[in-house]
């Protein structure tokens, strides 16, 4: 074993609500446009052929309740409230039953986005990294085991900025269910325990400003919050 020349970055884990346990996160996959009304507000149509994805670095993940700097390089930093879930078993080319069994826990998440940099990427047909893979942009609340939460059906999903409602929808509006996402994504990746998937955001995304507090929730799951520091 070689001597490491600096300490490795601390690993990131998401607590399992009501326990001392936590889920170590290895990869973060994000589903694009999984609610028709959000696809419309982004100027697009829903592709019903297949879900599609982008990724976020685990190094950019933080826990709910954090107070973080407002990111550099954007004048249009957006909130996206999402249902996330954690994989708890190795699965490849999953059947419906295997996909169902592989979902270990559900939780609230925020997919914070430099919308202006994402738009640059779209305009120039370039990758979305500056828009989506932003430091402190993958926010997770404690997760609830699937055995306790049940199945995402028509639970309310909502987000507020400074207490004002911005997003308010139902998980029933999701185009691709978590089981369908696992079935599809596992055709391209060997999914393992610790992989986390963010399932897309409903309509109502919008900008936040330095100093503002974001809160959100999904019926039956622990709520989520994020505080953006004032500039300077
Ligand atoms: Mn998103």
Query: How many Å lie between the centroid of ligand 1 and the Cα of residue 20?
Result: 29
Tell me the residue length of the chain: 232
Query: How many Å lie between the centroid of ligand 1 and the Cα of residue 105?
Result: 19
Query: How many Å lie between the centroid of ligand 1 and the Cα of residue 1?
Result: 39
**pTM attached to this predicted model:** 0.95
Query: How many Å lie between the centroid of ligand 1 and the Cα of residue 5?
Result: 36
Class of the CATH-defined domain 13-228: alpha beta
Query: How many Å lie between the centroid of ligand 1 and the Cα of residue 124?
Result: 20
Query: How many Å lie between the centroid of ligand 1 and the Cα of residue 7?
Result: 31
pLDDT digits (tens, 9 = 90+) for 108-131: 999 999 999 999 999 999 999 999
Residue 47's pLDDT band (boundaries 50, 70, 90)? low
pLDDT digits (tens, 9 = 90+) for 138-183: 999 999 999 999 999 999 999 999 999 999 999 999 999 999 999 9
Name, in order, each residue with C-beta under 8 angstroms of 67's C-beta and a sequence gap of 6 or more.
227, 228, 229
Angle at 94 between CA 37 and CA 82, to 5 degrees: 30
State the Cα–Cα distance between residues 86 and 196, nearest whole angstrom: 4
**Burial label, 101 (beta-carbon count in 10 A; 0-12, 13-18, 19+):** middle
Q: Strand 77-79: give its sheet, edge to edge.
A: 113-114, 77-79, 206-207
Query: How many Å lie between the centroid of ligand 1 and the Cα of residue 197?
Result: 10
Query: How many Å lie between the centroid of ligand 1 and the Cα of residue 167?
Result: 13
């Amino acid at each position: 074993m070689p001597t490491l020349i600096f300490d490795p970055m601390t690993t990131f884990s998401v607590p399992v609500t009501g326990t001392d346990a936590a889920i170590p996160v290895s990869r973060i996959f994000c589903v694009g446009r999984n609610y028709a009304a959000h696809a419309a507000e982004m100027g697009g149509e829903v592709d019903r052929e297949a879900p599609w994805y982008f990724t976020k670095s685990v190094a950019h993940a933080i826990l709910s309740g954090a107070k973080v700097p407002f990111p550099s390089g954007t004048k249009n930093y957006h909130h996206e409230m999402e249902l996330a879930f954690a994989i708890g078993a190795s699965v490849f080319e999953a059947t419906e039953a295997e996909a169902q069994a592989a979902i270990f826990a559900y939780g609230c998440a925020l997919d914070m986005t430099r919308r202006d940099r994402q738009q640059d990427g779209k305009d120039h047909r370039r990758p979305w990294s500056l828009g989506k893979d932003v430091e402190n942009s993958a926010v997770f609340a404690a997760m609830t085991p699937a055995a306790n939460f049940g199945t995402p059906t028509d639970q309310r999903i909502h987000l507020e900025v400074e207490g004002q409602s911005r997003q308010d929808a139902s998980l029933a509006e999701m185009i691709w269910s978590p089981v369908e996402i696992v079935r599809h994504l596992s055709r391209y990746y060997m999914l393992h325990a610790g992989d986390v998937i963010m399932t897309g955001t409903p309509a109502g995304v919008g900008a936040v400003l330095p100093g503002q507090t974001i809160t959100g929730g999904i019926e039956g799951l622990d709520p989520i919050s994020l505080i953006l520091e004032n500039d300077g």
